[in-house]
Amino acid sequence: MATRQTRTLARFMMAPSVFLLLIWMIVPLAMTLWFSFQNYNLLNPGNVSFGGLFNYKFFYTDPAFFQSIWNTLVIVVGVLLITVIGGIAMGLLLDQPIFGQGIVRILVISPFFVMPPVAALVWKNMLMHPGYGVFADIARFFGLQPIDWFAQYPLFSIILIVAWQWLPFATLILLTSLQSLDGEQKEAAEMDGAGPVSRFIYLTLPHMARAITVVILIQTIFLLGIYAEILVTTNGGPGYASTNLPFLIYRTALLGYDVGGASAGGIIAVVLANIVAFFLMRAVGKNLDK
Amino acid sequence: MARTVSDSTKLGWTIAAWIVALLIFFPILYTIITSFKSETEAIAGFNLVPSGTLESYAEVQSQYNYFKPFMNSVILSVGSTILALIVAIPAAWSMAFSPTNRTKDILMWMLSTKMMPAVAVLVPMYLIFRDWNLLDNRGGLTVMLMLINLPIVVWMLYTYFREIPGEILEAARMDGASLWGEIVYVLTPMAVPGIASTLLLNIILAWNEAFWTIRLTTTNAAPLTAFIVSFSSPQGLFWAKLSAASTLAIAPILVLGWFSQKQLVRGLTFGAVK
């Protein structure tokens, strides 16, 4: 059916997308790579020189660097743990017979549509504020000392906010997967005397494996780049306690005007993302080809 | 397969599910409630019953000119999505209807461009925008958002188009339809639902994009994301106003999201979960 003419046409139709994405991928990245070898500060733009590996060395010896990489990973893993486990639990709960299921679903998925700065500011001010927040009110009600969340547990606070934003996504996808589980299989397992726990481990969980993989893959892409939530809550602090790699690069670039240093950080971020992507794609490839 | 469930079991699950759902929804609910409070009420401790004043909404408009960032959000999200559709529809179309051995590789490559962290190209993009006078410019940012979402748009369209059966084309051809007739009368009507849900989902994604929209704008082109960030300064702790602005910023997308929740799953998982 595919004649040479349709094949040419197909190529022609694909060209704009491929061309745009190719430029989008190559040009800025090549520039980042180029800048990462330059001594280039925006405060002193007339004085640009080749710096070799200086920027990488500088970035590498900065104690903030390792902390930011660690924080990046803690955020990704922490949010994934909460959302995947929470999402499975929520999925199982919403899969039960419930009055008003439609409304419950709408309530549960809503946080996903809240833009990150709103989510972070609402949590920071109205819920977690040590003086006037709801959490502080609850603590005082029980006669406890309110916690200053962003000063004492900055990273955990950010994980909590981001997990709230992504739990609906995980729930929705895992619920969809649960609902496609064959009812007859469940009944057969039940008749064979399998209890709820072993039904979950041997039947439900394997069935959800693909959906769980997809949740992890997609969330990781977004979680590696968490930025706005940090900007409006802790601004990376106290010290560097809640600075992740994107935030450190932003600080170096736009607050420190250090083009070379920020570019070296950018290249490191790309390498990190690629390492993660490599393992993810392998895991996902295994799961998706089924 | 419908098993009979006793009413008391169902009631138990219902109560549990509603409690959890309300807890998850609470931050949004409390924001909406606080938006109808006065500033003194807002910091007067936990209270679920507002006085119902609309002064915060009035002030958000009069003091901060809310309408401008709102329109910027509309222009950026709708504009970038339509641009992306124009570029992506032909590509997804050809990949779905005349796939080659390389189609799968191209799709995976497109997805992999999403893996590149935005921050890695912050410096060059900032310098390009600065040198071309595109900082705080709606046009530049629209193109940027278009590029960011293009891989997702292609993927989503592809998964929808792929499900249009090829036999229907052959049937149309047997009936003597021309290529043009095929496209206009047979394929387009079948493709419209997929295009519509792609449109909806990408407007949501673009509306909530919170890295480039914050970094590449200051005032003129600033959409709601950047506008809300301006409320984070410690001097400006006006919770009722923050709540009113937040409610206005999320309400349209919340409603769109509720309508698109069925498409959300297959859209965002690229058809891997249905």
pLDDT at A287 over 90: no
Q: Which pTM does this prediction carry?
A: 0.88
Which pLDDT score is estimated for A171? 93
Taking the mean position of all CA atoms in its chain, how far away is CA B141?
16
Predicted complex ipTM: 0.86
A187: which chain B residues are within 8 Å (Cβ-Cβ)?
1, 3
DSSP 8-state class, residue B210:
-
- Arithmetic mean of pLDDT over chain A: 85
The predicted-structure confidence for A223-276, as pLDDT tens digits, reads as follows: 988 988 999 888 887 888 889 888 988 888 888 788 888 888 888 888 888 888
Domain that holds residue A265: 53-114+159-288
Q: CA–CA separation, B173 vs B38, rounded Å?
A: 67
User: Minimal Cα–Cα distance from B65 to chain A, Å?
Assistant: 18
Lowest mean pLDDT among A42-46, B85-89, B245-249: A42-46
Does the pLDDT value for residue B236 go beyond 60?
A: no
Q: How big is the A-B interface in CB pairs under 8 Å?
A: 290
DSSP of A110-174: GGGGS-HHHHHHIIIIIIS-TTTSHHHHHHHHTTPPPP-HHHHSHHHHHHHHHHHHHHHHHHHHH
A194 touches chain B (CB under 8 A): no
A239: left (phi over 0), alpha (psi -120 to 50) or beta: left
The domains of chain B are located at 7-57, 66-232
In this predicted structure, the answer to whether residue A288 has a pLDDT above a threshold of 60 is no
Give residue A284's pLDDT.
Answer: 60
Residue of chain A with shortest Cα separation from B110:
A21
Which residues of chain B are within 8 Å of residue A277 when distances are taken between CB atoms? 112, 115
CB-CB: which of A118, A183, A262 is closest to B123?
Answer: A262
Q: Which amino acid is at A254?
A: L
SS3 B108: helix
* Residues 6 or more apart in contact with residue A212 via CB below 8 angstroms: A84, A88, A174
Contacts of residue B252 in chain A, CB cutoff 8 Å? Answer: none
Residue B198 touches partner A, C-beta closer than 8 Å: no
Nearest by CB to residue B257, choosing from A112, A263, A281, is: A112
Mutate to test the interface with A, among B130, B243, B273 (most CBs of A within 10 A): B273
Residue A80 sits in a domain whose CATH number is 1.10.3720.10
CB contact under 8 A, A105 and B95: no
A283 Cβ under 8 Å from any chain B Cβ: no
Task: Look up residue A38 and give its DSSP letter.
Answer: E
Distances (CA, A) of B117 to A274, B90, B106, B142: 10, 27, 20, 19
Interface of B with A in 96-135 (CB under 8 A): 97-98, 100, 106, 110, 112-128
For residue A283, tell me if it sits in a domain. yes
Q: Assess A98–B contact: CB distance below 8 Å, yes or no.
A: yes
Task: Write down the pLDDT at residue A144.
Answer: 86
Give me the percent of chain A exceeding a pLDDT of 90: 21
Residue A70 belongs to a domain: yes
Q: Residues B203-233: pLDDT tens digits?
A: 998 999 888 888 888 888 889 998 888 887 7
- pLDDT-derived band at B235, boundaries 50, 70, 90: low
B78 touches chain A (CB under 8 A): no
Number of domains in chain A: 1
pLDDT range class, residue B8, cuts 50, 70, 90:
confident
Residues 6+ away with beta carbon under 8 Å from A55: A36, A37, A38, A39, A260, A261, A263, A264
Confidence of residue B1 (pLDDT cuts 50, 70, 90): very low
Residue B20: which of A90, A99, A233 has the nearest Cβ?
A90
Question: Each residue of B173-194: b (16+ CB within 10 Å) or e?
Answer: eeeebeeeebeeebbeeebeeb
3-state SS class at A50: strand
On whether residue A31 sits in a domain, the answer given is: no
In chain A, what residues touch B268 (CB-CB under 8 Å)? 169, 173, 218
In this prediction, residue B4 carries a pLDDT of 62
**Per the domain annotation, does A262 fall within a domain?**
yes
Give the nearest chain B residue to A261 (CA atoms).
Answer: B123
B8 vs A: CB within 8 A:
no
Instruction: Report the pLDDT value the prediction gives residue A170, as an integer from 0 to 100.
Output: 93
pLDDT-derived band at A286, boundaries 50, 70, 90? low
CA distance B62 to B70: 14
pLDDT band for position A130 (cuts 50, 70, 90): confident
- Which residues of chain A lie closer than 8 angstroms to B128, CB-CB? 28, 31
**Res. B265: pLDDT tops 60:** yes
pLDDT in tens, B158-185: 888 888 887 777 777 777 777 777 777 7
pLDDT reading at A289 higher than 70:
no
Contact B232, B249 (CB under 8 A): no
**pLDDT tops 90 at residue B22:** yes
Asked if A168 has any chain B CB less than 8 Å from its own CB, the reply is yes
pLDDT tens, B91-129? Answer: 888 888 777 778 888 888 888 888 788 888 888 888 888
Between the alpha carbon of residue A173 and those of residues A209, A212, B7, B163, B273, the distances in Å are: 12, 8, 28, 20, 7
Q: Which helix (H) or strand (E) holds A39?
A: strand A38-39
Specify the pLDDT at position B75.
93
Question: What pLDDT, on a 0 to 100 scale, did the predictor assign at position B180?
Answer: 77
Q: Is A5 touching B (CB cutoff 8 A)?
A: no
* Any domain includes A199: yes
User: Which of A158-172, A175-189, B180-194, B227-241 is modeled with the greatest confidence?
Assistant: A158-172
CATH of B66-232, one of 2.115.10.20, 1.10.3720.10, 3.90.70.10, 3.40.50.720: 1.10.3720.10
Q: Identify the burial level of A191 via C-beta atoms within 10 angstroms of its C-beta, where 0-12 means exposed, 13-18 middle and 19 or more buried.
A: exposed
Q: How many CA atoms lie within 13 A of A275 on its CB side?
A: 7
* Contacting residues of B for A116, CB less than 8 Å apart: 208, 210, 225
Closest CA of chain A from B132, distance in Å = 15
Check whether A45 has a pLDDT greater than 80. Answer: no
pLDDT in tens, B23-62: 999 999 999 999 998 887 877 778 887 887 888 888 888 8
| Chain A partners within 8 Å of B272 (Cβ) | 210, 214, 288
- Answer yes or no: is pLDDT of A290 > 60: no
Gap between the Cα atoms of B264 and B274, Å rounded: 10
